[in-house]
Chain A
């Protein structure tokens, strides 16, 4: 079992629905977020290109945040999902500093919080909230070990990349380009 997400930059319009859906699903306090939108424009008018993508924790296979956590609060769950046990987190922030993707934030209640791939939904066979809500259907979630999963299928068909591959983190969030 290897959970992964593929996000189609050719379809994403950057509407931020994934952000607000995550907030209401996971009680993320207003002013904080577990996912966010990045827009990059290249070129000079009128020769332009834009890439828009929804970013979040990459649930890396080689996670600096898990490695540096002094209490073991940051850990891998089944399927490679990287999570934080809030009760075990002392809020030291080492993981926040170590993450090359800036995917973690300090929750006002004193622990570090981040994307969980909506484990509570996945457990029930549902899609993560961001995937389920996306009006452009630009996100695919599933098991990379299952060749028939939607995410495996789309990765076979499309060119893709990961973010900051040089960090050697082996992300499980892929961007279709």
Chain B
């Protein structure tokens, strides 16, 4: 059997680097707790350094506390940080495990062929790794053009590799957080309000009177600030309406739970829209002043009666009416939450348009308890020469599609890597930083095919994630606890910034991304783009431009500034120009119409599972971030595997019992690598199963995560692409149960 050039290599040379046994963290000599022996094992007296969390994208600012010997003990939130208000989530608290994980990448690795013709990794020096990368990049530039390089990134290091790539001459910089996650909602809100939502979303949850969650399982997705505010809202008596085929955690806290049939949300949204319009529950003054296309919308939604929706969604008409009234009673302090991971069925931009329209009708955009007007600091970049202007990019490979995508599509860059006749910009080299594309992009087969066509694949990560096994060069990044990084500048109720400084020296031979990018720039003759001598110098330069300093920020960690521009909410009757074609809130989207799409959202029936198959629904657990935390010793201690949720009726039909191990097989015959335990529960609909994303790791070097649970990503082979912006809908997959699997040899 011929092997592909890019055989998967389990990072086997790592064992040579040695393992630190025990470590201070596991130090267990706790003093007894009787009064006379009570010693401070705790808090205030410890030395602390500022950081912002890198375990998820929320980037809460906090303090890393150290023991007397300088070892990292715990991480707690910074009280002044508006993202976390002094309270980290379990992942942030457990972030210490990223630092102490003994499975971390330890040395730069290079793919070599040994004497037996077997591909393996060899530890190399940083210099040798950089020389190899630079040579390959120059070769790609010479033969194909600089535009044929790409960066995939998720996290802070991406800024530096992004600058490197831009300096090199490519703008193919993609994050899976767009086309695989929140992209459709950004495009939908841009089309409606002329503004995207960005992160953290400007949802004014703490002051809302009614929060509507559609497939969004806040509390299980631990978007820290939002979870905190939801809790505040519960205290203040706000009602929650949850629409989910699963009785999610938040469904258990809701006044109304609508157990909707999967893939029918648009029907419900259109019907709510009709109810609110026909009962005159919409905000007339707001709509008259700010909206475009109300009459068209009103005429359009007339057929969508609650009785019509009942047949589609299985939600009873009186429940639809009652929940519409609940929202209207709370308006404008109501939030139809846009959610975050919204790439479901390929008509996601349109579904999110329906969400945006409903918010507009209720007048919640720009209103207290609805959506506030965020503000963000502007901090100048350290001076560098202008980046070259590439003439081509990944969009040239898309045949003119997805023009409304406002950011690069990770899946688009991946597609542009697979050679085909139509492709003008065929990508030949990837740098992948902090994202495990094997588990992040749908359809693993396609990702692997793309990687097989690369001339260079560099993976920068802290952990031996699956993607590292396909790399030509693996670069070990130190964790966020061991490095400086760019300032965290995010939008919020007030402009704010946060500083990350290293709490400890990098373990092993790992290095920060900024250092790697700067060193690589020297090898590529691009050092003028990284003109700072040290990152401290660069940060101090930036901070002094905004009347602060590195010294000050080290002391306070977070700085909040007064708002400079608008009020946080629209003033009554205020004259507002929205950044849309008409300058109005577009209920009827002229931008979508121009591109040949429905100007108002349309309900389209989606495929239903064949007999014996179930909708594959997936989601989050509060103690994990995607697949990146699956090996974290502290967090695996809280949850070390996922389970497949099965309704008792289904369990009876298949004779399944709690804890039984099954394989899952999808509609395309793909069977999960590993078994997954069954959780028989009333909390899931009879036509669906549910599992938490991020488990079922195949790399044995992830000693705690390997083979634990099953990977939903592996079973997502049918991708429903959003024609508007290229989002990859992943909820169109169905699975059935298998009790045994033929071994590879037999196949």
Contact = CB atoms under 8 A, between A and B. Distances in A.
Interface of A: 10-11, 13-17, 19-21, 23-27, 29-31, 33, 41, 43-46, 48-52, 75, 77-78, 83-88, 107-109, 111, 113, 116, 118-121, 123-124, 126, 132-138
Nearest to A16: B638
A20 B647 CA distance: 31
Contact of B249 (A20, A29, A50, A135): A50
B623 A20 contact: yes
* Max chain A Cβ within 10 angstroms of own Cβ: one of B26, B39, B96, B249: B249
B34 A16 contact: no
Interface string B38-82: 111111100000000000000000000000000001111100000
Contacts of B638: 16, 19-20
Interface of B: 26-35, 37-44, 73-77, 84, 86-90, 93-94, 96, 219-220, 222, 224, 227-228, 230-232, 234-235, 247, 249-253, 257, 259, 622-623, 633-635, 637-639, 647, 681-686
B687 to A, nearest CB: 11
A133 B29 CA distance: 24
A108 B84 CA distance: 35
Given A41-B682, A44-B682, 8 more contacts: A11-B231, A15-B219, A20-B623, A20-B635, A51-B252, A85-B33, A136-B227, A136-B231
Contact of B637 (A14, A23, A46, A113): A23
Contacts of A116: 33
25 contacts: A11-B231, A13-B250, A17-B88, A23-B634, A26-B30, A27-B30, A29-B26, A30-B634, A33-B637, A41-B247, A43-B682, A45-B683, A77-B35, A84-B32, A84-B33, A85-B32, A86-B31, A86-B33, A88-B34, A108-B28, A109-B30, A111-B32, A113-B30, A118-B42, A135-B222
B249 A25 contact: no
B33 A11 contact: no
A138 B231 contact: yes
A122 B249 CA distance: 31
* Max chain B Cβ within 10 angstroms of own Cβ: one of A11, A75, A87, A135: A135
Contacts of B685: 45
Contacts of A119: 33, 38
Nearest to A21: B93
B87 A13 contact: no
A137 B228 CA distance: 7
Given A20-B623, A78-B35, A120-B39, A50 B224 contact: no
Given A75-B34, A133-B87, A136-B227, A49 B252 contact: yes
Nearest to B217: A13
Contacts of B686: 45
B247 A50 contact: yes
A41 B684 CA distance: 12
Given A21-B93, A85-B37, A121 B249 contact: no
Contacts of B259: 45-46
Contacts of A45: 247, 259, 647, 682-686
A24 to B, nearest CB: 4
List 5 tightest A-B contacts by C-beta distance, closest first: A13-B219, A15-B622, A50-B252, A86-B32, A136-B231
A11 B41 contact: no
A17 B232 CA distance: 18
B370 to A, nearest CB: 22
B249 A26 contact: no
Contacts of A17: 87-90, 93, 622
A123 to B, nearest CB: 7
Contact of A135 (B28, B31, B224, B252): B224
A13 B220 contact: yes
B3 to A, nearest CB: 39
B87 A134 contact: yes
B28 A31 contact: no
B222 A15 contact: yes
* Max chain A Cβ within 10 angstroms of own Cβ: one of B75, B90, B257, B684: B90
A135 to B, nearest CB: 5
A77 B634 contact: no
A52 B30 CA distance: 31
A109 B235 CA distance: 43
Contact of B682 (A31, A48, A120): A48
Contact of A52 (B94, B227, B252): B252
A74 B232 CA distance: 38
A27 B590 CA distance: 59
